[in-house]
Amino acid sequence: MSASKSSLGALTLGAIGVVYGDIGTSVLYAMKEVFGSGHVPFTPDNVYGILSIFFWTLTVIVSIKYVLLVLRADNHGEGGLVAMLALASQSVKDRPELRRILLLLGIFGTCLFYGDGVITPAISVLSAVEGLEVISPAFKKYVIPITLVILFGLFAVQKRGTAGIGKFFGPITVVWFVTIGVLGASHIVHHPEILWAISPHYALGFMWNNPGTTFIILGAVVLCVTGAEALYADLGHFGKTPIRLAWFSIVMPALVINYFGQGALLLANPAAVKNPFYMMAPDWALLPLVGLATMATVIASQALITGAFSVTKQVIQLGYLPRLQIEHTSVKEAGQIYIPFVNWGLFVAIVLAVVMFKSSSNLAAAYGIAVCTDMLITTILTFYVIRYNWKYPLWLCVAATGFFFVVDFAFWASNMLKLFDGGWFPLLIGGAIFTLMITWKDGRRLLNDKLRADALDLPSFLEAVFVSPPARVEGTAVFLTAEKGTVPNAMLHNLKHNKVLHTSNLFVTVCNHEVPWIGLDKRLQIDSLGHDCWQVVIHYGFKNDPDVPKALEQIKGRGCDMDPMTTSYFLSRDTVVPTMGEGMAPWREKLFAQMHHNASAAADFLNLPNNSVVELGSKIEI
C-alpha cells in the first residue's frame, strides 16, 4: 500500500512538472494581454468580470472538459490527438467516407500541434525574460538575445535525453506554483472582496453588458488555458489519477489565487496593468522571480519539444511521414527519443518567431488559433468516440459535446480576428506540414498500387522456381516486402544476379496499426510456403518501436531456427520517378520523390544489423 502511495506521489509530482508547465506559465501574460489590449476600459466592475471569466474558463475547459471527460477517452491507456484520432477512426470503420474525413481532421489537428510547439517556447521564455524590463528599462535591448541563448541551450541538450533533467522538473514546477500562489495571496489579503469574482454572475454580467468586447477579448482569455491539450497528450506517461490529483490539489488553486491576486493588485494600482504578474513582487524578489519564471518556461517548452518527438514518431508509424532518424536517449524508457530533424527544425522556426514578433504581446496575437483549433477538433472526435465506441444515446452525446463545441467555437472564432496580426504564422506551419503529410500518404498509396500492379504472386512464383531450383547456400535470407503474398524486388534481383537461394527464406511484411500498442503475443504471424520458405507478418502499434530481428526471435521452434550470424536482410531501395498522367499534381509527385529520397534508411528504422543488410535498387514510375 505504501509503495503504491509513493508511486502515486512520484507520478503526481512528475505530472506537475511535465503536464502543467505550459498552463502554469500562462499567468505571466494572460491577464496582461486582456487589459493591455485596450478593448476593456479599466473599472473595478470590469476587473471582477474578467476574473470571473478566467475562473469559469479554467473550470469549464480544463476541469470539466479535459480532466473529467476527455481523459476517459483513452486508447489502451494512451492519450493525445493521435490516440483520439485512432480511436475515432476505429469507431466509424464501417463508414469509410466519414472515417476519411475524421482522419484528415485529426491529422490537420496534429499538424497544428507543431505550430503550437513553435509559439509556446517563444512566448513563454520571452515573457519570462521580459521581467528584466520591470527591474530596469535599460535591460530591454538584452531581452531578445538572452531569450535566443536560453532557447539554443534548451535545444542543444535535447540529444542527451530528458531523463537527467526530467527529475528536476517536478520540484522546480512545484516551487513555481507555490510561489505564484503566495504572490497572489499576498495581494488578496489586502482586498479579500476580490474573491467574490468566483461568482458566475460577474462573468455573465460582463458578457451581457459588453457582448462585442467579450467576443474580441476571448482571444486573449484563452491564453489562460493554453496547455490544456497536454493533459490529454501525457495520459500514457502518468495516468488519469495523478493528472487529476495534480490539477485539483495544486495547479488550479495556485493559478486561481495568482489571477485573483493580479486582480487585487490592479484594483489598488491600475498602473500595474503593463505587467501585473511581475508588479506583484516586491523589488528584492524581482531578480529571483525572473530566474524562477525562466526555469518554469524552459520546463514548459521542454514538455512541448518532447511531445513533438513523440507525435512525429507516432505519425511516421501511421504512414503520414517518411522515416526519420530516431535516437533513443534512455535504455530504460522506450518513450524517451530524440529526432534531430524535428529538434533543429523547431529551433529555426522558434528563432524566426522571436525575431519577427519581438515581444510576448506581439506573439500573443499569433497564439491561440492553433490551440483553439485543436480543442475544437478534440471535441468533434470525442463525439464520435462516445457515440460509436461507447454507444451512449445520441441526445446525451450531443448535449455533452455540443456544450463544449459552442464554448470552443466561441474561443476559436474570437482568435480568428487575430489571423492577420500573427495568427497566420502557426497556421502556415501547420498547413505546410499538413501538405507534406498528405502528399506522403497519397504518394505511398500510388507507389504501393504500382508495386501491386507489377508484383508477382509469391506462392505461384516459388512453385515455378522450385521446378528447377537454383543452388542453395547456407544461412537465412530475410526479404522485406511492403505487400504480403507478393515477390519482393530484392529477391528477383538476387536470383537474377547471384542465381542462388538461401537454405531458409523468410518473406517479412511489417504492418502498422491504429492502436498504440500491440503485445508480444500478437506480434507475429507465420505461414509455411514449403521448400523452407515462410511468410511472416510482424504487427506494431503506433507507439511500439519496430525491431525486426527481435520480433523474428519468436519463430524459433516453429520449424525455422535463425542464427543471427548467418542471417542476411535483403531490402529493395526504390527510386521514385515522377511522370505525367494520373496520380498527384506534378509538383506533389516531385515533392514525394524528394521526400522518398531523403527518408532515412529502412534498415535503421527497423533496427536491422548494419553488417547483415543487402540493399538492391530499382526505379519505379508513379
Q: Residue 404: phi, psi to the nearest 5?
A: -70, -30
Using DSSP's 3-state secondary structure scheme, residue 485 falls into coil
Q: Which helix (H) or strand (E) holds 383?
A: helix 369-384
**pLDDT, position 571:** 87
**pLDDT, position 616:** 75
Confidence of residue 1 (pLDDT cuts 50, 70, 90): very low
Nearest Cα to Cα of residue 507 among 493, 491, 492, 522 = 491
**pLDDT, position 331:** 57
Confidence of residue 259 (pLDDT cuts 50, 70, 90): very high
Query: Which grid cell sits at 322?
Result: 517518411
Checking if the pLDDT of 69 tops 90, the result is: no
- Percentage of the chain with pLDDT > 90? 39
Checking if the pLDDT of 608 tops 70, the result is: yes
Checking if the pLDDT of 518 tops 60, the result is: yes
**Tens digit of pLDDT for each residue in 174-201?**
999 999 999 999 999 999 999 999 999 9
Say which range, 176-180, 202-206, 225-229, 524-528, has the weakest mean pLDDT: 225-229
**pLDDT, position 440:** 94
- The rounded radius of gyration (Å) of the Cα atoms in the chain is 27
What is the four-CA torsion angle of 519, 521, 524, 525, rounded to 10 degrees?
-130
**pLDDT, position 57:** 95
Checking if the pLDDT of 2 tops 70, the result is: no
pTM for the structure as a whole:
0.85
Indicate the domain borders of the chain: 2-441, 455-621
Q: Which helix (H) or strand (E) holds 328?
A: strand 327-328
Q: Is 230 exposed, middle or buried (0-12, 13-18, 19+ CB in 10 A)?
A: buried
Q: What is the DSSP letter of 545?
A: P
Residue 344, Cβ neighbours under 10 Å: how many? Answer: 13
**DSSP strand pairing (327-328 vs 337-338):** antiparallel
**pLDDT, position 245:** 93
Burial 209-229 (b: 16+ CB within 10 A, else e): ebeebbbbbbbbbbbbbbbbb
- Distance of CA 450 to CAs 340, 460, 578, 599, Å? 32, 20, 12, 19
| Arithmetic mean of pLDDT, 264-288 | 91
Checking if the pLDDT of 3 tops 60, the result is: no
Give 340-347's long-range contacts (Cβ < 8 A, gap of 24+): 340/159, 342/308, 342/309, 342/312, 343/155, 343/158, 343/159, 343/305, 343/309, 344/155, 346/114, 346/117, 346/118, 346/121, 346/155, 346/305, 346/308, 347/151, 347/152, 347/155
Q: What is the DSSP letter of 504?
A: E
Say which range, 432-441, 465-474, 611-620, has the weakest mean pLDDT: 611-620
Nearest Cα to Cα of residue 214 among 52, 59, 66 = 52
Nearest Cα to Cα of residue 542 among 318, 236, 311 = 318
**pLDDT, position 191:** 92
**Tens digit of pLDDT for each residue in 313-334?**
888 888 899 988 888 776 555 5
Confidence of residue 619 (pLDDT cuts 50, 70, 90): confident
**Tens digit of pLDDT for each residue in 326-371?**
887 765 555 577 899 999 999 999 999 999 998 888 888 788 888 8
Checking if the pLDDT of 574 tops 80, the result is: no
Nearest Cα to Cα of residue 35 among 19, 53, 60 = 53
| Arithmetic mean of pLDDT, 588-601 | 88
**How many angstroms separate the CA atoms of 567 and 557, rounded?**
17
Direct distance between the N- and C-terminal alpha carbons of the chain, in angstroms, rounded to an integer: 61
The DSSP result for 217-234, as a single string, is: HHHHHGGGGTTHHHHHHT
CATH number of the 2-441 domain:
1.20.1740.10
Checking if the pLDDT of 492 tops 60, the result is: yes
Q: What is the mean pLDDT of the chain?
A: 87
Residue 331, Cβ neighbours under 10 Å: how many? Answer: 9
**pLDDT, position 166:** 61
**pLDDT, position 42:** 81
